[in-house]
């Protein structure tokens, strides 16, 4: 198994995985949506994301197939006097294909991401887990924090 950062060559596979991931949890989300339309939007996002230096997509690959991924966006913070300001990592789109769940692949990939964040001295990682993923994050050292505030438009 290889753990690495995604490249442009991975984009089509990542698009399909995003589609599968979304429809697994929200089957109605795909109703009336053409895959091609989604594919075009997601391809544009991934091409830009992989070039801009703010997004990092970590993947686990086995025999040429991506079986798990974690997306990280670096969020810059406003500088503060007397302190070196480092970005924090926003983690999202954490997914392992069903056939590889419960085998430690996601945990190993998450451990690599955690080490990468620590090595780069980013301040912290934040993730909004689904109800189904709370145990996964808990067993990997994540704890609940106070909920952020939000406003919907």
Walk me through the domains of the chain, giving residue ranges and CATH numbers: 2-139 (3.40.630.30)
Sign of CA dihedral 17, 23, 26, 30: positive
* pTM metric for this prediction: 0.91
- Condensed to tens digits (0 to 9), the pLDDT of residues 81-122 reads 988 889 999 999 999 999 999 999 999 999 999 999 999 999
Q: Kindly tell me if the per-residue pLDDT of 140 is higher than 80.
A: yes
- Condensed to tens digits (0 to 9), the pLDDT of residues 5-55 reads 999 999 999 999 999 998 888 777 777 778 899 999 999 999 999 999 999
| 75 contact partners, CB below 8 Å, separation of at least 6 | 87, 88, 89, 90
């Amino acid at each position: 198994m290889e753990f690495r950062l995604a490249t442009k060559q991975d984009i089509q596979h990542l698009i399909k995985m995003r589609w599968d991931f979304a429809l697994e949890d929200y089957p109605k989300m795909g109703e009336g949506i053409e895959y091609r339309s989604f594919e075009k939007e997601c391809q544009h996002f991934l091409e830009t994301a992989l070039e801009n230096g703010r997004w990092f997509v970590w993947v686990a690959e086995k025999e040429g197939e991506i079986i798990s991924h974690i997306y990280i966006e670096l969020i810059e913070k406003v500088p503060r006097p007397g302190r070196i300001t480092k970005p924090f990592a926003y983690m999202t789109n954490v997914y392992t294909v069903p056939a590889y769940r419960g085998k430690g692949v996601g945990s190993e990939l998450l451990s690599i991401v955690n080490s990468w964040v620590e090595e780069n001295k980013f301040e912290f990682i934040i993730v909004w887990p689904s109800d189904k993923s709370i145990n996964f994050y808990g067993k990997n050292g994540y704890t609940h924090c106070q909920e952020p505030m939000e406003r919907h438009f």
